[in-house]
Structure 1
Amino acid sequence: MFLYTICFIVKGTEVLMLNRYKAPNKGLWNGVGGKIHEGETPEECIIREVEEETGLLIEAPGFTGTVQWEFDYQFIGGMYVYIVYLEKETSYPTPVKVDEGLLDWKPIKWVLESDNYGVVSNIRYFLPDMLKGEEPAEYHCYYHSGKLSGVKKMEPLQK
């Protein structure tokens, strides 16, 4: 079991991103999420984290896979990834400052650009498949000397 969750909240062609105030990923755009509390399921965690960080009440977020990372050949951790689709009419004005950082709607295309260094580096490798609705899969991210050196998509996860 991993310790973290992350959610990408999509509305039309945009995704709600958080520019984090704190490490890890300080100053980078990322989804919203956080650490799983003792006795909490990953789904319960992401529902709670989305409400705490955005004020949005979500039900039944879509589980889209897992992402784990290793630094210099040592497994460090991982997260459960969820996507929530909002109706285009849903009003959520941004930018808005929250305790964790700055929330703002960003074009999905911009988030996934290969030369966009303002977004957490591994997102462009796993999020496109997840947005296509592919079977939940496991992604392994490899970091060497502090930089992302590769991402490997594993077989779809068993339900």
Structure 2
Amino acid sequence: MADVHYPYTLCLIRQDDQFLLLNRQKQPAMGMWNGVGGKIEPNETPTAAVIRETFEETGIALAEVRFAGTVVLRAEQAVGIYLYLADLPIDQTLATPLATREGILDWKSLNWILDPDNIGIISNLKHYLPNILNGPLCRHTFDYNQHQLTDYTTDVLPEDALQSIH
């Protein structure tokens, strides 16, 4: 993990049993609900990038985020993402739905996100979300063929994975 550098971050912000999700109005994943995040800038750590991207997309200034693993999406080429989880304090609020330049932000319950009949959620989120809430740090690898998920594997990250992203 120490020599792997992914170009993107993704943050799942929760408050109680609700998660702040973005319904994207542009590609990639246009029209799908997902966490917030984006591209890591040169000389920026993944942690600094996810805090900056979260603020840019939501207006929330996170004081603390927790590294929650990685996602690798393999289609025509592989793309890697650093996953983060952040808890929004109860005394901090964000009224939703809220239209932004990126799409619509809204709070969604864990049950709503994980419902097997929910086709509006980005396909990989339902797979890795339970793990990042309860499991060890993992690399979640998803294989796609023409935007259809064909395979999903999980590998536990080495113990030094957390140190390599700061």
Structure-2-length-normalised TM-score: 0.90
User: Are the equivalent residues in 2 in contact too, given 1:65–1:157 (CA < 8 A)?
Assistant: no
Q: Which residue of 2 aligns with 1:145?
A: 146
SS in 1 for 2:56: helix
Task: State the identity as a percent.
Answer: 37
CA offsets per residue over residues 102-150 of structure 1, 9 Å max, x none? 0000111111122211010000111111012x22110100101320112
**Residue 56 (1) aligns with residue 60 (2):** yes
Indicate conservation of the 8 Å contact 2:136/2:156, yes or no: no
Residue of structure 2 in register with 1:118 after alignment? 120
Q: Moved runs in structure 1, 4+ residues, more than 3 A? A: none
Length, aligned pairs only: 156
Deviation at 1:69, TM superposition (A): 1.1
Q: Superposition pairs for residues 1-159 of structure 1, below 5 Å?
A: 1-71=5-75, 74-132=76-134, 134-159=135-160
The whole-number CA distance in structure 1 between the counterparts of 2:148 and 2:103 is 23
Q: For residues 157 and 110 of structure 1, what CA distance do their matches in structure 2 show?
A: 32
Which has more strand, going by share of residues?
1
Cα RMSD after superposing both structures = 1.2
Unmatched 5+ stretches in structure 1: none
